[in-house]
Amino acid sequence: MATYIFIIVENNQGDFDFDDSENDRQVEDGSTDSRYVSRRSVLSSLAGIGVAGTVVVGGSDRAGASESVVLGDFEEGTDGWKTNGGNSVRRVGREDESAPVTRGDYALEVSVEGDSQPAVRNQRAVRDADFTDAPYLLADVLPGSIADSDSAVSFRFRYHSAGPGDVAESPEITVEQRYGQRLAWDMSEIADEKLAAPRRLEIAWYPADRPVSTGPQGKGSSFDYRGRVYLDNVHLTDNRQQVTITRWVRKRRELQRSHGFPIDDDVQSSTDAIRAGRFVYDDGTEIPYSAEILAGGDIRIEIDDERFRFEGVAV
């Protein structure tokens, strides 16, 4: 049986945050005052990307309880998810493939046999969902091995609303073969009238090293994909923090895979509200970072030219 690496930690709202670092400790569950620590320790640990782990899980108390709209947990069936071409879908349980299951006891397996445009789609659950009040979309995926390719896999959400040609696409999210990862899309920038008229949701993928082209059949890869992809825990939430956490964990993963683990933190300035410096990685690469506590306890972090804002996590 193939070996998958799919390490997850569960937060206080039943969601999952992904991390592939076997040396990281499990984060606090956020259900007690452990979310609220001193300003300086927040800056020190939260800025320590890859060193201290993800210390923020879930939203702040001021944001209220998170609401979740399930679009696919596959406990009772395929939940209306279908695939295209000659591909097939089936439910798999923990007794079949334990690694891909992240919510409940079942996940969805998509078997692709030579399709250049593999995707899954859902109309039934999507049409009844409230994208306006819960505009943050998350899904757990695990691409298995691809025949004749060692490339990572690029995933993309596509949201179809009721108007003709009304299609919004998420940015590409790249996932390594045989690694589980959470996909996240902040849909709040889509116009309210479009969010109020959902028609179909798609999740498409293709090898990252095969450019997407546009031909007579629309967008597709130049590669005939053969392999399996696992999907679980597709849901909407009203908690934007979950998107930030997902991006944060993915950034840690990206830096660690490219440069190894951080071995030094060269702090260049530090106060009760600001911390800046450079992380030195195993391969000698130095990555600049900065972190700042803002009004109301929000924390803004920039690392490797990518920005993150955690809401209400410092006092």
What domains appear along the chain, each with residue ranges and CATH number?
32-63+241-310 (no CATH), 68-238 (2.60.120.260)
Dist CA 257 CA 270 (whole Å): 28
What is the reported pTM?
A: 0.80
Please report the pLDDT score of residue 164 as a whole number: 77
Question: With a cut of 50, which residues of the chain have pLDDT below it?
Answer: 1-37, 49-64, 214-216
CA triple 103-25-244, angle to 5 deg: 60
| Predicted confidence (pLDDT) per residue in 33-58, tens digit | 333 345 555 555 555 543 333 334 33
Q: Which of 208, 140, 120 is nearest to 180 (CA)?
A: 140
